[in-house]
DNA sequence: ATCTGTGAACCGGTTCACAGCC
DNA sequence: GGCTGTGAACCGGTTCACAGAT
């Protein structure tokens, strides 16, 4: 389970995350079994896609019956690596960073914010929920002490690459960036970037070319 | 230019948006010409990919020379539909909605926020930059009057689908959702969803399965 | 009878390689 | 010589279709 022979497509991992969300809804409704078809309908895919996605990691269903909801939740959580919580640092305590630091959907899904950092002395010390904004200069020492595994970036474009470099040098291997800047990371580091401008421009394109 | 015969892949549109960003940097640095290779290097693709992406829409370069930076910027902006500004409404004036409403990268790229809405009477009237939060009950009338083309959703999961339905009924055809909920839209409406949990779970997967 | 698991076929996006123009 | 534009080859993700289990 922990080292599938083949490389798994990102689209598969993304769908597993989606299935997990639906399975939790099914569980909350008290449903104990699902078929690949039901899961597919919830998530806008096909039953074959659901079965194929799961088949990369093992056999979790019973032929003629479907999948046990609780078991499949546990299996997908294990596949995604969610059996234990992941400590996260947020860098940038501007409006977006502050909103993220207090976002409940974060913690409720096993991602614990262990630190929020900003280079602006005026922001350092500000309370954000249970946390206090810390100075960016504390970053490396804090990482060494608390071993966060994921960094979330909410900094201006110019600041983003230097921060990525620091965070990578400090040993982090996963970064989620909201900075409106293209970033480079060395091999072995996973970077995901959410770029608002691009999202909106794709919508503008779709509106412009709609028939 | 406005109705390419073939359907264009989303990945192509996304890259065009990226090229545009790099071209603007090249322009700011005073560079007047770029080759597909230079653009590719900035954006982590290949020169063939850059040329292919552009070729779907026309011929913008000069063989042996490359592309004129200013011309290509204008061409891509036209392809994406960015010659005129797009009015946007933001629905949800919680932390994330408020942060988005004041996000400068929005306006600076031709997306003008013309209204921010919330169902919470305590939030209605609050100032967000130059805007005031308006009551969600004003949404339909405001849409009829100001004709926004894009809705950005920053509401809780439970509220998201009903709001999507209202926004679609009011005539909008493009939605960018930050709500942590899977949403359904009728054909002809483009929905893009940014899901924080999924982004983090993909990172967790990559950390768990890194060799 | 039903629904899973999976090799095979399919399809579309990416890469290649070269002809065409500056 | 250098770089674009593009048909053809390639590759990998999705879909199909059926064997296998209950």
Instruction: Supply the CATH number for residue B131's domain.
Output: 3.40.50.720
Across A142-158, average pLDDT: 97
Across A24-51, average pLDDT: 95
Predicted confidence band of residue A43 (pLDDT cuts 50, 70, 90): confident
In a domain, A2, yes or no: no
Q: Give, as ranges, the nucleotides of chain C with any atom within 7 Å of a protein CB.
A: 1-7, 12-17, 20-22
Query: Rounded to whole angstroms, what are the CA distances from B149 to B112, B166, B176?
Result: 10, 14, 11
- Nearest-angstrom CA–CA distance, B18 and B156: 30
Could you tell me if B168 and B148 are in contact, meaning their C-beta atoms sit under 8 angstroms apart? no
- What pLDDT, on the 0 to 100 scale, is given for residue B43? 86
Specify which residue's alpha carbon is closest to the C1' of nucleotide D13: A9
In a domain, A209, yes or no: no
Claim to verify: residue A94 and residue A193 sit in the same structural domain: yes
Claim to verify: residue B68 and residue B164 sit in the same structural domain: no
Domain boundary (A79, A106, A137) is at A79
What's the CA B62/C1' C20 distance, rounded, in angstroms?
11
Domain boundary (B46, B79, B112) is at B79
The pTM of the whole model exceeds 0.85: yes
- Nearest-angstrom CA–CA distance, B131 and B114: 8
- What pLDDT, on the 0 to 100 scale, is given for residue A5? 55
Q: State whether A203 and B4 contact (CB < 8 Å).
A: no
Radius of gyration of chain A (CA): 20
Could you tell me if B20 and B43 are in contact, meaning their C-beta atoms sit under 8 angstroms apart? no
Predicted confidence band of residue A105 (pLDDT cuts 50, 70, 90): confident
Partner A contacted by B83 (CB < 8 A):
no
What's the CA B62/C1' C21 distance, rounded, in angstroms?
8
As for how many domains chain B has, the answer is 2
- What pLDDT, on the 0 to 100 scale, is given for residue B2? 42
- What pLDDT, on the 0 to 100 scale, is given for residue B5? 54
Residue A189, pLDDT above cutoff 50: yes
Cα torsion through A120, A121, A127, A130, rounded to 10: 80
Whether the CB of A65 is less than 7 Å away from nucleic strand C comes out as: yes
Specify which residue's alpha carbon is closest to the C1' of nucleotide C7: A52
Long-range contact pairs involving A28-34 (C-beta distance under 8 Å, separation at least 24): A31/A69, A32/A68, A32/A69, A32/A70, A33/A65, A33/A66, A33/A67, A33/A68, A33/A69, A34/A66, A34/A67, A34/A69, A34/A72
Chain A: residue nearest B185 by CA? A44
Supply the range of the domain harboring residue A180.
86-198
Could you tell me if B164 and B153 are in contact, meaning their C-beta atoms sit under 8 angstroms apart? yes
Across A65-93, average pLDDT: 97
Claim to verify: residue A114 and residue A159 sit in the same structural domain: yes
Task: List residues bridging with A174 in a β-sheet.
Answer: A190
Averaged pLDDT of chain A: 94
Claim to verify: residue B174 and residue B113 sit in the same structural domain: yes
Residue A118, pLDDT above cutoff 80: yes
Claim to verify: residue A137 and residue A43 sit in the same structural domain: no
> A63-95 as b/e, with b when 16 or more CB fall inside 10 Å?
eeebbbbeebbebbbebbbbeeebebbbbbbbb
Residue A20, pLDDT above cutoff 60: yes
Claim to verify: residue B135 and residue B74 sit in the same structural domain: no
- What pLDDT, on the 0 to 100 scale, is given for residue A1? 43
In a domain, A66, yes or no: yes
Chain A: residue nearest B180 by CA? A105
CA B143 from centroid of its chain's CA atoms = 19
What's the CA B192/C1' D14 distance, rounded, in angstroms?
21
Q: At B40, which CATH number?
A: 1.10.10.10
Claim to verify: residue A66 and residue A140 sit in the same structural domain: no
- What pLDDT, on the 0 to 100 scale, is given for residue A22? 95
Claim to verify: residue A111 and residue A67 sit in the same structural domain: no
Predicted confidence band of residue A210 (pLDDT cuts 50, 70, 90): confident
- Measure B95 CA to nearest chain A CA, in Å: 5
- Nearest-angstrom CA–CA distance, A205 and B173: 12
At A192 the three-state DSSP class reads strand
- Measure A124 CA to nearest chain B CA, in Å: 19
In a domain, A98, yes or no: yes
Claim to verify: residue A66 and residue A154 sit in the same structural domain: no
pLDDT for A95-104, tens place per residue?
Answer: 999 999 999 8
Claim to verify: residue A127 and residue A58 sit in the same structural domain: no
Claim to verify: residue A97 and residue A138 sit in the same structural domain: yes
Could you tell me if A124 and A135 are in contact, meaning their C-beta atoms sit under 8 angstroms apart? yes
Specify which residue's alpha carbon is closest to the C1' of nucleotide C1: A64
Chain B: residue nearest A20 by CA? B198
Residue A79, pLDDT above cutoff 60: yes
User: Any idea which nucleotide's C1' is nearest the CA of A39?
Assistant: C3
In a domain, B173, yes or no: yes
In a domain, B45, yes or no: yes
Q: Are strands A127-128 and B150-153 parallel, antiparallel or unpaired?
A: unpaired
Claim to verify: residue A171 and residue A118 sit in the same structural domain: yes
Which contiguous run of DSSP H or E holds residue B113? Answer: strand B111-118
Averages of pLDDT over each 10 residues, chain B, 211 residues: 69 97 95 97 93 97 97 98 97 96 88 97 96 98 97 96 98 97 92 95 96 67
């Amino acid at each position: 389970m922990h080292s599938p022979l083949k490389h798994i497509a990102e689209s598969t991992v993304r769908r597993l995350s989606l299935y997990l969300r639906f399975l939790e809804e099914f569980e909350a409704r008290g449903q104990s079994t699902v078929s690949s078809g039901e899961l597919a309908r919830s998530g806008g895919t096909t039953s074959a896609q659901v079965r194929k996605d799961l088949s990369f990691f093992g056999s979790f269903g019973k032929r003629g019956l479907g999948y046990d909801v609780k078991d499949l939740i546990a299996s997908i959580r294990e596949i995604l690596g969610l059996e234990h919580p992941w400590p996260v640092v947020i860098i940038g305590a501007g409006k977006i960073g502050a909103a993220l630091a207090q976002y409940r959907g974060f913690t409720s899904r096993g991602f614990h914010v262990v630190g929020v950092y900003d280079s602006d002395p005026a922001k350092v010390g500000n309370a954000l929920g249970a946390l206090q904004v810390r100075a960016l200069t504390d970053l490396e020492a804090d990482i060494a002490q608390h071993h966060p595994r994921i960094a979330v970036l909410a900094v201006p474009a110019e600041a983003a690459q230097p921060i990525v470099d620091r965070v990578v040098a400090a040993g982090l291997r996963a970064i989620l960036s909201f900075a409106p800047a293209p970033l480079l990371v060395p091999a072995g580091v996973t970077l995901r970037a959410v770029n608002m401008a691009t999202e909106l421009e794709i919508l503008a394109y779709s509106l412009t070319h709609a028939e």
